[in-house]
Amino acid sequence: MAIITKIIAFFMSVIMFLCPALNIPENSFDKESMSTDYTYVFVHGLSGWGEYDFYYKIFPYWGVLGGDLMAYLNARGIDAKAASVGKTESAWDRACELYAQLTGNIVDYGKEHSERCGHERYGADYRCFPLIENWSAENKINILGHSFGGATVLTLVELMANGSEAERQATPEDELSELFTGGKGDWFYSVTTLAAPLNGTSAYEVKDEEHPLTDVGVTTTFFNTATLPPQDGRTDIDTAAYDMHIDNARKMLEGMTTVDSIYYFSIPCCMTDLNEEGVWVPDTAHMENMFTVSSREMGKFTGFTEGGFYLDESWQPNDGLVNTISARAPFNAPQKDFDENSIEPGVWNVMPTYRGDHMALQGGLLINNNVRQLYVDLIKMINSL
C-alpha cells in the first residue's frame, strides 16, 4: 500500500507541474498591496538539483512529491527560480557557479582559489541562458538556501559585498571577475536560510562514537554518496563535507559580515523529542528513514570537536542531519527571534522552529510535506517590508 501511495503521489506531482493553475489556493497573492516585487532565487542543498538539470521537471527538488514549488509560485505571479549548483563542491565553488548563473557569465572559481585547491579555474558557460535578467542594485533579488545551500548563499553575499582580497592580489586586473571586486551587497533584498548548518553539524562528530555512522546501512550510503567530492584532483578542503564540519564552518564564518541593508531570515527545523530518560530521540513516524540513525546519535552527543569547541546539550535537538541550534543563525552575527512588528535589516530574524525533518522545507522526499503556504506567507511578509 505504501508503494502504491508513493506512485500515486509521484504522478500527481507530474500533473501539478504540467497544470500548476489547477492548484491555486483560495487566498490569492495580492501583489498590488506589496512594497517590493523582486525575484526569488532558491538554492538547493547537498546533492540537490535545480532547473538547469533536465530531471528537475520530472522530480523537482523544490516540491518533490507535492509538485514543483517554482511552478506553483510562478502561477501566482511570483517570479521564482531554482538554481543548479555543484552537488558536493565547497560553498566557495557553489557561490561562483551561482554568480555566473545569475549574471549570465562563465563560471570563474578564481585564480588563487583554483590553483590552491587543485582544479580548473573556469567552469560552465551561462552567457546564453542566465537564470535571471538584469540583476543589479536596482533590480535586487531575494535568495533562499536549503541545507548547504545556506552556506552557499552566505558565501555569495560575502563575495558580492566585500570581494576577495586574495583574488585581487593574485589576478591581473583585466582577468578579475566582478564577483571578487566587492561593493555589491545591495544587490540583495533578503536572505533566507532553511534548515541550514550555518555553524556546521555534529553529524560528522558522532562517527567515532560507540555506534559510528559508517557502520550503519542507509546512513552509510547517504554520507558516502552525498558527500563524495568531484574526482577532479581537488584538495579535501574544497568540498562541502569539509565546510560542514563544525570547526571549519566556524572558521568560515569568522571572515563573513552581516550586510546592514539586507533582511536576514532563518527557519530551523526539529523532528526530535525529549524522552523520559532525558534523551532527544527522532519522531520516526514523521522523519525520513535515512536520517533516523544519525538523529539518534546527534540527540545524545556531547563533547569537543577536534578544534576544541564544546558541543553541549543545546546541540542535541535536530532534524536528522542538522542541529536545530546551528540552523538558527551564525553564532557571530546579530540575531533575534522573529517579531513581525520589529523586522529590521542587518539582523538575523530567527523564525519559529519548524516541526519537520531535514527534507521537510523542500517538500519532503518519501514523506510528502506541503510547504506551499509557508512560502507564500514568507514571500508576502518579505514583499511587504
Q: What pLDDT sits at residue 31?
A: 67
C-alpha cell at 296: 539518534
Examine residue 285 and state whether it is found in any structural domain, yes or no: no
Strand locations in 176-262 (E): 188-194
pLDDT of residue 39: 97
Element (H, E) at 269: strand 269-270
Number of structural domains (the chain) is 1
Q: What is the dihedral of CA 274, 275, 278, 280, to 10 degrees?
A: -50
Q: What is the pLDDT of residue 18?
A: 47
Per DSSP, 308 falls in state: S
Q: Determine the Cα–Cα distance for residues 369 and 51; give it in Å rounded to an integer.
A: 21
Render pLDDT for 103-120 as a digit per residue (tens, 0 to 9). 999 999 999 999 999 999
Beta bridge partners of 89: 239
The alpha helices in the chain, defined as continuous H runs, are 2-18, 69-74, 91-103, 111-117, 148-162, 165-170, 217-226, 240-244, 246-254, 289-298, 372-383
- Set of cell numbers at residue 46: 547537498
Beta bridge partners of 42: 82, 144
Domain span at 379: 2-271+325-383
Domain assignment of residue 303, yes or no = no
Helix residue ranges, H only, 165-304? 165-170, 217-226, 240-244, 246-254, 289-298
Closest C-alpha among 77, 85, 139 to residue 107 = 85
Residue 156 belongs to some domain of the structure = yes
Domain-located, residue 182: yes
Q: Give pLDDT, residue 234.
A: 87
Paired residues of 336 in beta bridges: 349
Domain for residue 277, yes or no?
no
pLDDT at 206: 85
Give the CATH number for residue 53. Answer: 3.40.50.1820
Whether 297 is covered by a domain: the verdict is no
Q: Do the beta carbons of residue 244 and residue 328 sit within 8 Å?
A: no
Q: How far is CA 95 from CA 35, 98, 155, 229, in A?
A: 28, 5, 6, 16
Question: Does residue 287 sit within a domain?
Answer: no
The predicted model scores a pTM of 0.89
Residue 377 lies in a domain: yes
Pairwise CA distance, residues 385 & 372, whole Å = 21
Residue ranges of the chain with per-residue pLDDT less than 70: 1-33, 207-229, 231
